[in-house]
Chains A and B, each alone.
Chain A
Amino acid sequence: MKNFAFNVFVIITLIPSFWVALSSNIVHAAFSLFFTFFGVAGLYVLLGADFLGVLQVLVYISGILVLIIFGVMMTQRAQMEHISTRLPGRFAGAVLSVLVFGGFMVAVYKTAWPKLTELPEPVPTTSEIGNLLLGKYLIPFEVASVLLLAVLVGAALIVRQSVRKE
């Protein structure tokens, strides 16, 4: 049952992500991300990370994805623009992606994964994540918040300048 669900979610994640990379219609590419994010959320839940899975839906799909699509639509002539998926930097791209893939593979094989024959019962993770964020990882958490605040202020500043010029 779990294997079947895993395969389904992997398919939901992978096939649209090919579409994201290969589609020449930029709006379609952006919408395909929806299925990819959704599949990833499903994988999280399957691995027992319920909080992370739901946050994936809440933040990535209904937050970031909507902003991406919004940005794509606001781009001038997004509709007519058929972006070429055959770029001149093909060789450099291939080298780069092989390197990234290799890096991932090294990381996957070097990590000592806990070997389980049976998946453990999912345990609630929310309170533990909260305790860790406000305890052990307080400083990285705060640094990330400051970064986000800086981005907010910066965005407001950029918009403000362009309004003044008009």
Chain B
Amino acid sequence: MADLYQKLVMLLGDDLTVLILGIVLTLGFIQFNSLFLIWLERKVAGHMQLRLGPMEVGPHGIIQTIADGIKLVGKQLITPRYVDKWLFMLAPVIVLMPVPLAFLVLPVHPGVVVLDMNVGILLIFGFSTLNVLTILMAGWGSHNKYSLLGAIRAVAQNIAYESPLLVTVITAVLWARSLNMSAIVDAQDKIWFVFTPWGALAFLIFLISATAETNRAPFDLPEAESELVAGFHTEYSGMRFAMFFLAEYTNMFIVSAVGVTLFLGGWRGPILPGFIWFLLKSYVLVFMFLWFRWTFPRVRFDQLLGFAWKVLLPIALVNLVVTGGAIKLIDLIR
């Protein structure tokens, strides 16, 4: 292994080797994460409803998702006659494009980050919001009223919840005084941001907005089964559908990992090594998303938008000002 690494460094140089290894590891992790999360979701859903969930394939159904994946690969890719061919085919391709980029700037272990960018946190949010664009592409390209309605809902919802989400992110950035993800983790060496009063409020708003941003229940209106069939991916079958699924579950992990980095001290924790803490905290947040889904009923669309613009955004803005004041006060006392 070390030998191979040396050869790669000789061939490509330091930066490029790290980048390529990072991308390969990321792609591997994306697959593993989705397989695991889909299984976990079905298990959690089952147990919350006093069922067992998948039990047949492997012990406790652990390889059920792999079986499902093979089934999806084998399915025919159906292209309905009147779809907008270009948009219809491009959407599932582009949906996974921004996802690996977000992983590159996440600090997973002390000193381990593939791309130590100065504007890391902005990069993540810049690229993860491309999601909306692909949803629009899929919804419009499908030439189906349910798809289009789902896409329109997705856009309204994502724009609405992006505002409070970004304001809470700015709050955390203000506290850490840097846009660099590693520096944000470094700034939480004394106290995690979530343990300050303004940090706790920001984290709460972040969690709610993140649930809406990833289109998870109770905010899953873009794909509400009971009204819109399956929303923007109604017309997609086989692996094209699987790509949307993959992107959704990966986005869930990314949002959790960003939350961990901004508010829960990143890889910090006693005894265990850093990356284990990082994964542990991220999956606890992911579990909370699953928990929300099987606990809360779906909200109505006007409630959803009203809540974002009239409740979350003002609170987040006031919280930002309070945080700024607090930072100034702490500086004065020192």
Do these two chains really belong together in a complex?
yes
Number of A-B pairs whose CB atoms are under 8 Å?
59
CA distance A34 to B122 in the complex (A): 18
CA distance A58 to B132 in the complex (A): 12
Residue among B122, B136, B137, B148 making CB contact with A58, cutoff 8 Å: B122
A31-B119 contact, Cβ under 8 Å, with A54-B126, A62-B129, A66-B155: no
Q: Does B304 contact A (CB under 8 A)?
A: no
- B interface residue count range (under 10 / 10 to 19 / 20 to 34 / 35 or more): 20 to 34
Which residues of chain A are near B126, meaning CB under 8 Å? 54-55, 57-58, 61-62
| Contacting residues of chain B (83-100) with chain A, CB-CB under 8 angstroms | 84, 86-87
Q: Does B127 contact A (CB under 8 A)?
A: yes
| Contacting residues of chain B (119-161) with chain A, CB-CB under 8 angstroms | 119, 122-123, 125-127, 129-130, 132-133, 136-137, 140, 148, 152, 155, 159
Which residues of chain B are near A18, meaning CB under 8 Å? none
CA distance A100 to B24 in the complex (A): 46
CA distance A57 to B122 in the complex (A): 9
CA distance A95 to B318 in the complex (A): 52
A62-B122 contact, Cβ under 8 Å, with A27-B140, A50-B117, A57-B127: no
Q: Does A141 contact B (CB under 8 A)?
A: no
Q: Does B30 contact A (CB under 8 A)?
A: no
Q: Does B295 contact A (CB under 8 A)?
A: no
- Contact present for B137 and A31 (CB under 8 Å): yes
A62-B84 contact, Cβ under 8 Å, with A55-B122, A124-B118, A126-B118: no
CA distance A102 to B35 in the complex (A): 57
A66-B133 contact, Cβ under 8 Å, with A57-B126, A61-B126: yes
CA distance A50 to B179 in the complex (A): 12
CA distance A122 to B123 in the complex (A): 17
- Contact present for B140 and A70 (CB under 8 Å): no
A62-B132 contact, Cβ under 8 Å, with A54-B126, A55-B122, A73-B140: yes
Please, which residue of chain A has its CB at the minimum distance from the CB of B125? A58
A27-B159 contact, Cβ under 8 Å, with A57-B127, A58-B126: no
A62-B117 contact, Cβ under 8 Å, with A70-B155, A73-B140: no
Which residues of chain A are near B133, meaning CB under 8 Å? 34, 61-62, 65-66, 69
| Contacting residues of chain A (62-80) with chain B, CB-CB under 8 angstroms | 62, 65-66, 69-70, 73
Question: Top 6 nearest A-B pairs by Cβ distance?
Answer: A62-B129, A57-B126, A58-B126, A124-B118, A54-B122, A54-B119
23 contacts between A and B (CB under 8 A): A27-B87, A31-B137, A34-B133, A50-B118, A50-B119, A54-B119, A54-B126, A55-B126, A57-B123, A57-B126, A57-B127, A57-B130, A58-B122, A58-B126, A61-B130, A61-B133, A62-B126, A62-B132, A62-B133, A62-B162, A69-B140, A73-B140, A124-B118
Chain B residues in the interface with A (C-beta under 8 A):
84, 86-87, 117-119, 122-123, 125-127, 129-130, 132-133, 136-137, 140, 148, 152, 155, 159, 162, 179
Chain A residues in the interface with B (C-beta under 8 A):
27-28, 31, 34, 50-51, 54-55, 57-58, 61-62, 65-66, 69-70, 73, 124, 126
